[in-house]
């Protein structure tokens, strides 16, 4: 979709459950051209979390983003250097100046974030449908799309094949083996192998894993779940004995502690603490961003 000097556009379709991880990795990136957040019911809390990390963004409805990007492209194309180069004094090294400016612009990415609502993983067909619908919409103005989801119930199993003719690249949250991570807990624990090891270490003890978003959102999801097994009190009390609190860079503060304690008391579980990792979220984002930048420069 790039014009002459348009920066590459990396779009991110993200699960609301992973908004803390995404806010963290974006706030750590100090070399963005612009950060745009799709305006919806999920976006406002995400924007507040970005601001708390001194990361500024702009809100637009999804349908308005192509127009905004087009206007941005037009404003970039009206390069003041081109005007100045009409004058003899500035004609000594016009080609070098323009090329350096063009390459510098392509190194700074425009990121567009679309947060999808909690609870879609409860229905794999609905989850896949929502992700696919947004891929199609965002591909029209994107150079690449990062699917900031785990492979919840194998919902993303055939995504790459289904979109093999897409005009932009697709990227996923992947572990060291190059496999799409199983779910948001696998993201928090650093990959599928780490997740499997943690589950095996329980020796058959049922364990519930809580990240900050899980701990703060379970009551809302319970209300909306129509009493599925994930939140059925009798089921949880019967099959689970322990809450595993996953701590990392995004879990600082007493709110997470209080939410975990409240969950454990509600379902009569003990609490264990485990160190998490931001590696999957950070590396997957940087790999996607670097790849779209590389392709933009080569073009």
Q: Concatenated DSSP letters for 78-109?
A: S-HHHHHTTSGGG-SSHHHHHHHHHHHHHHSE
The answer to whether position 1 is within a domain reads no
Range among 98-107, 146-155, 185-194 with highest mean pLDDT value: 185-194
Cβ(164)–Cβ(158) under 8 Å?
no
291/250 same-domain check: no
Query: What is the pLDDT of the chain when averaged over all its residues?
Result: 85
Q: Which residue has the higher pLDDT, 187 or 108?
A: 187
**Which CATH number covers residue 98?**
3.40.50
155/224 same-domain check: no
163/210 same-domain check: no
CB atoms within 10 A of CB 175: 22
The answer to whether position 4 is within a domain reads no
162/50 same-domain check: yes
Instruction: Please check the confidence at residue 91 and state whether its pLDDT lies above 70.
Output: no
Q: Using the CB atoms, write b or e for 77-111: b if 16+ within 10 Å.
A: eebeeeeebeeeeeeeeeeebbeebeeebbeebbb
The answer to whether position 3 is within a domain reads no
123/242 same-domain check: no
77/155 same-domain check: yes
Could you tell me the pTM of the whole model? Answer: 0.86
The whole-number pLDDT of residue 139 equals: 97
173/225 same-domain check: no
30/78 same-domain check: yes
113/252 same-domain check: no
Range of the structural domain that residue 213 is part of: 191-275
| Number of structural domains in the chain | 2
CA-angle at 134, arms to 132 and 135, nearest 5°: 65
254/112 same-domain check: no
| Percent of the residues in the chain that have a pLDDT greater than 70, as a whole number | 84
Least confident residue range of 30-34, 68-72, 81-85: 81-85
The answer to whether position 111 is within a domain reads yes
For 119, left (φ over 0), alpha (ψ -120 to 50), or beta? left
238/289 same-domain check: no
169/220 same-domain check: no
């Amino acid at each position: 979709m790039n014009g002459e000097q348009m920066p590459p556009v990396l779009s991110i379709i993200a699960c609301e459950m992973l908004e803390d991880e995404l806010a963290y990795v974006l706030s750590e990136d100090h070399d963005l051209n612009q950060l745009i957040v799709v305006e919806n019911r999920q976006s406002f809390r995400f924007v507040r979390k970005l601001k708390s990390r001194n990361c500024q963004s702009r809100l637009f409805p999804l349908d308005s983003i192509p127009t905004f990007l087009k206007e941005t492209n037009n404003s970039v194309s009206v390069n003041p250097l081109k005007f100045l180069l009409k004058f003899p004094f500035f004609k000594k090294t016009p080609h070098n100046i323009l090329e350096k400016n063009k390459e510098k612009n392509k190194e700074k990415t425009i990121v567009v974030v679309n947060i999808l609502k909690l609870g879609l993983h409860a229905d794999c067909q609905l989850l896949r449908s929502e992700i696919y619908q947004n891929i199609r919409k965002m591909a029209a103005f994107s150079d690449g799309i990062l699917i900031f989801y785990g492979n919840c119930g194998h919902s993303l199993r055939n995504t790459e094949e289904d979109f093999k003719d897409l005009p932009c690249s697709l990227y996923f949250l992947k572990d060291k083996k190059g496999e799409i991570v199983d779910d948001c807990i696998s993201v928090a624990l650093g990959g599928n192998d780490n997740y499997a090891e943690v589950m095996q270490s329980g020796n058959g003890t049922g364990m519930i894993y809580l990240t900050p978003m899980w701990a703060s959102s379970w009551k809302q999801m319970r209300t909306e779940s129509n009493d599925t097994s994930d939140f059925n009190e009798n089921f949880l009390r019967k099959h689970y004995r322990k809450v595993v609190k996953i701590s990392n860079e995004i879990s600082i503060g007493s709110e997470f502690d209080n939410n975990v304690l409240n969950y454990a008391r509600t379902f009569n579980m003990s609490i264990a603490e485990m160190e998490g990792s931001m590696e999957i979220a950070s590396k997957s984002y940087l790999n996607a961003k670097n790849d779209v930048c590389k392709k933009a420069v080569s073009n």
